[in-house]
Structure 1
């Protein structure tokens, strides 16, 4: 059965973003990004996302994929991001371009997708979609990039219920970022 991997950037104090969605606390780490993106692309064939992140993929990655000044690794990843089928969870969007799919039914759609043949799926966000997946217990693996920054207030990943996890893997990077992999107990 296919798995849902939540791939998130998290502050040391547990926030996905600042109170107004700020992401200025994220440090660049090209070595880490290349290593994780290569592994992720080999493992997943579907992107799960919310409306805002879907629009961000279309705007940011399309430009990076076609910009001749983009480093080759970034252009390759950007091309993968825009060409990989997305399932967009939204109650306000009315359509998305093929090969993407639009739905408002979180649990039903995830159950249907897990039963289909294929590789695993990656949940990129935004914040509210990640919170909904976590709260509904739909995440099979957490791939967390833990940044060495505490922001004091913001939008947390865990909001609705206690979640017991077991550590699967961890690595410290030269930038101070930790990559952590957890699975539900």
Structure 2
């Protein structure tokens, strides 16, 4: 059975984004990004995302994939991001281009159906509201967290509903000060 991996960027005080969606606290770490993207692509073959992130993938990664000045690692990752099948969770979209598909209205039923299909694991990128909903409904099998050494004081938290116990399975400190953490539900 396939797993859902929530791959998130998180502030030290637990926010996925600032109050208005700000991500200006994130910093670039090329060594970390290459290592994590290679591992993620070897484990996952499907992207789970909300409408805004789906549109962002197309806008941001297509340019990087086609830019001859892009480093090879970034171009490879960008190509994977735009070509990997996406399951888009949206109440407002009525269609998406193949190989992508719209999710059904029942989140838990859609995830159960996807998990039963053949293939590799699935990576949940965002946006914030769909990640929070997956977490609230207990649909995340593994958390891959990039913890940035920045507290922003207020914002959009990862955990919004109740106490959640997790079990640390891996951690690594990067030269940039970012920690990568892997957790399983306890």
Distance in 1 (CA, whole Å) between partners of 2:99 and 2:110 is: 16
Matched ranges for 1:112-151 at <5 A = 112-151=113-152
Q: Secondary structure at the match of 2:32?
A: helix
| Matching residue of 1:175 | 176
- The CA deviation string for residues 78-131 of structure 1, in whole angstroms up to 9 with x for no partner, is 000000000000001111000001023311110001111110000000000000
| Matching residue of 1:72 | 72
Distance in 2 (CA, whole Å) between partners of 1:108 and 1:99 is: 21
| Structure 1 vs Structure 2 CA RMSD | 0.6
Deviation of the 1:23 alpha carbon: 0.2
- With normalisation by structure 1, the TM-score equals 0.99
Aligned structure 1 segments of 4 or more residues deviating by more than 3 angstroms:
none
Distance in 2 (CA, whole Å) between partners of 1:106 and 1:74 is: 32
| Matching residue of 1:35 | 35
- The CA deviation string for residues 27-66 of structure 1, in whole angstroms up to 9 with x for no partner, is 1100000000000000000000000000000100011000
Contact 1:45 1:84 in 2 (8 A): yes
- With normalisation by structure 2, the TM-score equals 0.98
Matched ranges for 1:8-157 at <5 A = 8-103=8-103, 104-157=105-158
Distance in 2 (CA, whole Å) between partners of 1:142 and 1:162 is: 16
Structure 2: stretches of 5+ with no match in the other structure: none
Contact 1:89 1:105 in 2 (8 A): no
Contact 1:45 1:119 in 2 (8 A): yes
Distance in 2 (CA, whole Å) between partners of 1:110 and 1:9 is: 22
Q: Secondary structure at the match of 1:48?
A: strand
In the comparison of the two structures, how many residue pairs are matched? 185
Deviation of the 1:139 alpha carbon: 0.1
Contact 1:64 1:75 in 2 (8 A): yes
Distance in 2 (CA, whole Å) between partners of 1:98 and 1:11 is: 34
| Matching residue of 2:167 | 166
Structure 1: stretches of 5+ with no match in the other structure: none
